C-alpha cells in the first residue's frame, strides 16, 4: 500500500476518535515509526505530509538522517543507552524514553539546547517494558528539575500487547491521570502538556484518552 492511502485511512480514524471524545484533530500529531522500513519508504511518508519520524535505534536513525537530514522532525522512541546519547543528541527534536537519572545526566551534558523529553512510564507493569514505575514518576520528575537541558514536555507509555480494549484503555487513562498530577506541581521546566501514547493497534483508544502524539509504524509505513 502507498503511504498516502494508509494515511488517508488513519486520518479518517483519527477524525472519528477526536469527534467521539470532543477533541480537535489539530491536537494529535502522527509520528511515522520507520524502524522497520527503508529510507525510501520513510521519504515517502515525508512526501505524503507526515513530517514527524520516529526511530528506536541510534544506527537506524543515523542511516536515515544522513539522507533525509532535517527535512523531517526526528523523534527517538526506543530505549536509549547512555553511551548512545552523543550519537543522536544533535539530530533529534524529541526523546520519548527518558526513564532514569543517569540518562538525564548524559543528555544534560551533551545537549547544547534544552531537549524536549517524554518521561517513559511503565504503566502496565510488565517486566519486559522500560519506564519509570507509576508511583515513582512524581519523585523522578522533581529530581529532573536540576538539569538545565531537560524539558519534560510529556509522558510516554506503551500499552500491554492484548486484545482486551479495557486493559489498554485503563493504561492510557492512568498516564493521563499522572499527567494531571505533574501539571498541578507547576514545575517551570516540566510543563508536561503532551502524551505520547498509541501505536498501530490502539491509537484510536489513545486519542480518546488524550494522546497528543501517536506513534504509528505498521499501519502507516509497514
Ligand atoms: C515500533 C514502535 C512503535 C510502532 O509500532 P506499530 O505497532 O508498528 O505501530 C511505537 N512505539 C514504539 C516505542 C515502538 O518501538
Q: What separation in Å is there between the alpha carbon of 78 and the centre of ligand 1?
A: 9
**Of all atoms in ligand 1, which is nearest to the CA of residue 156?**
13
Which atom of ligand 1 is the closest one to the Cα of 199?
A: 9
Closest ligand 1 atom, residue 97 Cα: 13
Atom of ligand 1 nearest to the CA of 222: 8
Residues 6+ apart with CB under 8 A from 72: 42, 46, 50, 51, 52, 53
pLDDT reported for residue 123: 96
Q: Which fold has domain 3-221?
A: TIM Barrel (3.20.20)
In the chain, what are the domain boundaries? 3-221
For residue 188, the CA-to-ligand 1 centroid distance in Å is 30
For the chain, which residues score pLDDT lower than 50? none
Pocket of ligand 1 (CB under 6 A): 33, 35, 56, 77-78, 158, 199-201, 215-219
Residue whose C-alpha is closest to residue 98's, from 124, 83, 77: 77
| Region for 69 from its dihedrals, namely left if φ exceeds 0, alpha if ψ lies in -120 to 50, beta otherwise | left
Q: Which residues pair with 88 in a beta bridge?
A: none
- Pick the residue whose CA is nearest to atom 4 on ligand 1: 217
Cα 60 to middle of ligand 1, angstroms: 14
Q: What's the pLDDT tens digit per position in 112-160?
A: 999 999 999 999 888 888 999 999 999 999 999 999 999 999 999 999 9
| 3 Cα to the center of ligand 1, angstroms | 16
What mean pLDDT value characterizes the chain? 97
* Predicted local distance difference test score (pLDDT) of residue 73: 98
Q: Which pLDDT value is given to residue 126? A: 86
Q: How many angstroms separate the alpha carbon of residue 56 from the centre of ligand 1?
A: 9
What integer pLDDT is reported at residue 41 of this predicted model?
98
- Residue closest by Cα to atom 6 of ligand 1: 217
Q: Determine the pLDDT at residue 127.
A: 83
Residues 6+ apart with CB under 8 A from 78: 35, 55, 56, 57, 97
Q: How far apart are CA 151 and CA 12, in angstroms?
A: 32
Nearest CA to ligand 1 atom 7: 200
Amino acid at each position: 500500500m502507498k503511504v498516502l492511502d494508509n494515511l488517508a485511512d488513519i486520518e479518517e480514524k483519527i477524525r472519528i476518535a477526536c469527534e467521539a471524545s470532543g477533541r480537535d484533530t489539530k491536537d494529535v500529531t502522527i509520528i511515522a515509526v520507520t524502524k522497520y522500513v527503508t529510507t525510501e519508504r520513510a521519504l515517502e511518508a515525508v512526501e505524503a505530509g507526515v513530517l514527524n519520524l520516529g526511530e528506536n535505534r541510534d544506527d537506524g536513525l543515523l542511516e536515515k538522517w544522513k539522507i533525509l537530514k532535517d527535512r523531517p522532525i526526528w523523534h527517538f522512541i526506543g530505549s536509549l543507552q547512555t553511551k548512545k546519547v552523543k550519537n543522536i543528541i544533535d539530530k533529534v527534536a524529541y526523546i520519548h524514553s527518558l526513564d532514569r537519572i543517569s540518562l538525564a545526566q548524559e543528555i544534560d551534558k551533551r545537549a547544547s539546547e534544552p531537549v524536549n523529553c517524554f518521561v517513559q512510564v511503565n504503566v502496565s507493569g510488565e517486566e519486559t517494558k522500560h519506564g519509570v514505575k507509576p508511583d515513582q514518576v512524581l519523585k523522578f520528575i522533581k529530581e529532573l528539575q536540576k538539569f538545565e537541558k531537560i524539558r519534560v514536555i510529556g509522558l510516554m507509555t506503551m500499552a500491554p500487547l492484548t486484545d482486551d480494549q479495557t486493559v489498554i484503555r485503563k493504561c492510557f487513562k492512568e498516564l493521563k491521570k499522572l499527567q494531571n498530577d505533574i501539571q498541578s506541581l507547576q514545575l517551570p521546566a516540566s510543563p508536561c502538556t503532551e502524551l505520547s501514547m498509541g501505536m498501530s493497534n490502539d491509537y484510536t483508544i489513545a486519542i480518546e484518552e488524550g494522546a497528543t502524539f501517536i506513534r504509528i509504524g505498521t499501519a502507516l509505513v509497514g
